[in-house]
Amino acid sequence: DAKTTQPPSMDCAEGRAANLPCNHSTISGNEYVYWYRQIHSQGPQYIIHGLKNNETNEMASLIITEDRKSSTLILPHATLRDTAVYYCIVRVLGNQFYFGTGTSLTVIP
Amino acid sequence: DVKVTQSSRYLVKRTGEKVFLECVQDMDHENMFWYRQDPGLGLRLIYFSYDVKMKEKGDIPEGYSVSREKKERFSLILESASTNQTSMYLCASSLGGAGGNEQFFGPGTRLTVL
């Protein structure tokens, strides 16, 4: 069963913020939300993760709704190198990660 | 930086051959994982391991086996390769424990079974 729901594709203008949504309505209290991205022909790359609170690092910000049923990954100033498939993942107990099909983000010059 | 390496980037095998995919990580991680990635299906977990000689089935273990004799190495074995095992295979590792540990991925092996 799918653990998360993401739009299949999105476009974003270079230099603008990219906001990638994710629904995880069946998330339980001890599950984290992770975001990874995969640039063509490479392995996935970790971006950020969170449990309840919003998180920010040098790559992105993660906004999690109060009920934790959805989240948004924000790339504040998208560049052409941010073109990739972005995966939103909910981590169940036991260290298993369930990857869906992700969102293909295209940054347009 | 964590480095996860996989033995081959591209591999071509024939139906019925035994295939070994090797993965090595250099950061003393307890956990290691094997995924396959197919268009429209995302990444699917085949097997994972929490420790040496330990293994757990993922979502799609049929047709695969694994071996973890040393902490740094996790091997995926296709006992008798079939054409439906043509795919991109990705290895990952992470620290152990119940915290929110990120997984580090290797570059992948694109396997074609003829």
Instruction: At A43, list the tokens.
Output: 């392995």
Shortest distance, CA B79 to any CA of chain A (angstroms): 24
DSSP A92: P
pLDDT for res A31: 84
pLDDT tens digits for range A25-47: 988 888 889 999 999 878 999 99
Shortest distance, CA B41 to any CA of chain A (angstroms): 6
For residue A95, list chain B residues with Cβ-Cβ distance below 8 A. Answer: 31, 48, 50, 94, 96, 101
Does B86 contact chain A (CB < 8 Å)? Answer: no
Which whole-number Å values give the CA distances from B77 to A91, B48, B99, B103, in the listed order? Answer: 26, 13, 30, 21
User: Which of B31, B40, B90 is nearest residue A95 as measured by Cβ atoms?
Assistant: B31
Nearest to A37 by CA among A93, A67, A78, A1: A78
pLDDT tens digits for range B64-110: 999 999 999 999 999 999 999 999 999 999 887 655 578 899 999 99
pLDDT for res A93: 52
Could you please report the per-residue DSSP string of B58-108?
-S--TT-EEEEEETTEEEEEESS--GGG-EEEEEEEE--SSS-PPPEE---
Which whole-number Å values give the CA distances from A109 to A9, A73, A104, B6, B87, in the listed order? Answer: 17, 21, 16, 34, 32
User: Which of A32, A42, A101 is nearest residue B107 as measured by Cβ atoms?
Assistant: A42
Answer yes or no: do B48 and A43 touch at CB < 8 A: no
The answer on pLDDT for A1 being more than 50 is no
pLDDT for res A12: 96
pLDDT tens digits for range A6-21: 999 999 999 999 999 9
pLDDT tens digits for range A73-109: 999 999 999 999 999 998 765 556 777 789 999 999 9
Q: How many CB atoms lie within 10 A of CB B41?
A: 13
Distance linking the first and last C-alpha atoms of chain A: 37
Distance linking the first and last C-alpha atoms of chain B: 37
For residue B49, list chain A residues with Cβ-Cβ distance below 8 A. Answer: none
pLDDT tens digits for range B10-47: 999 999 999 999 999 998 999 999 999 998 888 899 99
Interatomic CA distance for residues B12 and B3, integer angstroms = 25
For residue B107, list chain A residues with Cβ-Cβ distance below 8 A. Answer: 42-43
